[in-house]
Structure 1
Amino acid sequence: MRIGILGNGLMAEALGGQWVRAGHEVMIGGRSLDRAAEVAKRVGAAAGSLEEAAAYGEVVLLAVPAEVAVEVAALVPAGSTLIDCTNSIDHRDFTLAQPRTAELIAAAVPGVQVVKAFNSAADLVWSDPPAGLGVPMCGDGDLELVAELVRDLGCEPVYAGGLRRATLLEATAVLAIGIWVGGGDVRGMFPPLARAFGSVSPDQP
């Protein structure tokens, strides 16, 4: 699979490196061509501008600061699948600085399938993810391309609903980050399904 990555930071390097090792063709794109080339060399990918990376792959990873995500996403051509891994965080109180980021991105790129994924953990996790880690994904339509990229990391895709639910995924990530920063541990927050809901099936109203 050909994957274009918009951004040349730590998330781009972590996920790009994993996908190169899985056998995909990856291009790292950035406003600074020198910085993009440095990251690409470390992970064994090609390098280019943001425009070149946006046009490179059938799947594009948006790995830029959330405040410029909508602007940069507008470079992605129709017919692509765009993965939004951004989190819009107000670091003063660890709340959402901009709710509904994924939906705003989708509105800016008609004809592009936007999927919220990989925003639930930091770059260090994606550099060496634990086997079987669940990766929530929110999006409309067929999410199999993104699910394949999740599995290539040794992780498990978790279908979390349509794009309207992406703001819940964004809020969950920001909540978890705030707990971690405060010294808490979120790993034990979710009990097994049977204990959480008793005998109620997830399909029941």
Structure 2
Amino acid sequence: MSDKNNKNILYCSFCGKSQHEVKKLIAGPTVFICDECVELCMDIIKEENKNSLVKHQEGVPTPREICTILDDYVIGQTYAKEVLSVAVHNHYKRLSHESKNTKGVELSKSNILLVGPTGCGKTLLAQTLARILEVPFTMADATTLTEAGYVGEDVENIILKLLQAADYNVEKAQRGIVYIDEVDKISRKSENP
């Protein structure tokens, strides 16, 4: 008789728990899923949606969306995240308008200079921006840069690294982020005889 009862017990097709071990077991055409697995799947989907920005008609995420995602990865630096979010939004909006050849509309280009002590999150902010915007990222040390590249590294090498990060896709590299670190050390280096 117990053999007959075991045949009537239903199990979750994902985790293998029986109907008696879970609150609810939902039946599909050929499979079953328990409430715990559904909740786990919802958490996974929620996390994936959080990591990808909502694309609008223009394909440009809003500053608030950018800042919200930065808040998930970078603690503190509220003002820097807000300024970066607006600057990044405006930058990609400008790129979007340029590709549409909109006459009469001019959006100015801006570069960003992050200043702060070692370990405050400047590099993390830039890397996180690149990751959430799904654009290539490269980093260069300003102290090794030279005009012609005779001794150190020249600008062409930085762009080459960006192109490599974009898997040699020029269009993707054009939307990438170049992060130049240690700019403050250039003046100290030039002060020494």
TM-score, normalising length: structure 1: 0.24
Higher RCO, Cα 8 Å, sep 6+: 1
**Between Structure 1 and Structure 2, which shows a larger proportion of strand residues?**
1
Larger Cα-atom Rg: 2
TM-score, normalising length: structure 2: 0.25
**Between Structure 1 and Structure 2, which shows a larger proportion of helix residues?**
2
